[in-house]
Chain A
């Protein structure tokens, strides 16, 4: 997609034109807990899988809590901090107008290199809200191919009411339906997806189930 096209998409989604800058507000911010219906359903699907060893991909920052909980369920856990990787300047290319953008080809040459149908479930968290524009669509397409048929993907999206200053958080699964959110500095909300955007972005998935939380987070459980 061209740079003007990206700008148009960004404007259409109501995003701030500025790219991610380190955010100071998160410093020392306390962890908060939230009950997640979508996560509860996601975990129930994992637990009810019988004796088959499932593969789960966690795309958030490394969480010892998640790894412990998932491995105790007998799950093989994969972890890849996509958002952190996307900050690597070596993936950036200079555009005609002098701005820089992440080159998806370069990025995916070194990241998210998994065979098709590898995973039974993917924890996508709220990464799509913070990811550089050029990576969002290719990443979702890649996730769709990496999931097994009937595999689940859990994603969170901030609603417009959540505000532009919504902090990016590390998600710790403390119980099967309770998350602990640990704010992380350095990432800024890039865009707000509404329901139509989400449906278009994940159009290749067989079903999408929406849960709207009181804290202006929209949980979406996708099934391939």
Chain B
């Protein structure tokens, strides 16, 4: 039996017609009054937004000499000489940032100037205003047209990918030997999808 869908019922509740009377033409609902109106969505933070509450911020007038470590994402627009170690977190170097340091982070976005080697386990982005003098070791790199780079780029394969491929490969070979190859291929697809998810504030890109 036909059942009215919920969205068919809702406009009627705002303008109920009398039973037994022919249905009156319903005026177009006012967006703010109708329950089906789109709720203003909560704005998700963008990757370029350094002023998020969960991102540390170092302003352009700050100068640091020494070792900078942290366990949260960081926006760095000042000057640093020494080392920067954020391990599993992201670092954005702002346009005023002047870094003379070896940098270790998960993801890195460079707008300013960096002199030193970069080690990233995720992704490195060199924006068009950036100057990077040093070697980069990362899994993925994005370089905008206009970025200045002097050094070496070494793309390292994710060790988890390599480890995960081994059982898949063995399963695939086992599947092939038993005459069913489809299971292994679907496993490979699901694996590659999960490996790309990073859960970073760079993900908005």
Contact = CB atoms under 8 A, between A and B. Distances in A.
Interface of A: 55, 62, 64, 67-68, 71, 74, 76-81
Instruction: Give the interface SS of chain A, mostly helix, strand, loop or mixed.
Output: mixed
B143 A67 contact: yes
B145 A77 contact: no
Interface in B94-127: none
A71 B149 CA distance: 15
Contact of B152 (A64, A74, A78): A78
A63 to B, nearest CB: 8
B149 to A, nearest CB: 4
A62 B148 contact: yes
Nearest to B131: A62
B144 A79 contact: no
Q: Choose among A71, A74, A81 the residue with the greatest number of B CB atoms under 10 Å from its CB.
A: A71
Contact of B155 (A64, A71, A80): A71
B143 A64 contact: yes
A80 B143 contact: no
Interface string B149-186: 11111110000000000000000000000000000000
B58 interface: no
A67 B141 contact: yes
A5 B17 CA distance: 102
A74 B155 CA distance: 8
Given A62-B148, A62-B149, A81-B148, A76 B143 contact: no
Interface residues of B, number: 14
Contacts of B142: 64
B147 interface: yes
Given A67-B141, A71-B141, A62 B153 contact: no
5 closest Cβ pairs, A-B complex: A64-B143, A62-B149, A78-B152, A71-B155, A77-B153
B148 A64 contact: no
B148 A77 contact: no
10 contacts: A55-B152, A62-B147, A64-B147, A67-B143, A68-B143, A71-B141, A77-B152, A79-B151, A79-B153, A80-B150
B132 to A, nearest CB: 9
Interface centre among B144, B152, B154 (most CB of A within 10 A): B152
Nearest to B142: A64
A64 B145 contact: yes
Interface in B58-86: none
B153 A64 contact: no
Contacts of A81: 148, 150
B43 to A, nearest CB: 31
Contacts of B145: 64
B153 to A, nearest CB: 5
A80 B148 CA distance: 9
B150 A76 contact: no
A76 B154 contact: yes
B117 to A, nearest CB: 13
A64 B144 contact: yes
Contacts of B141: 67, 71
A74 B154 CA distance: 9
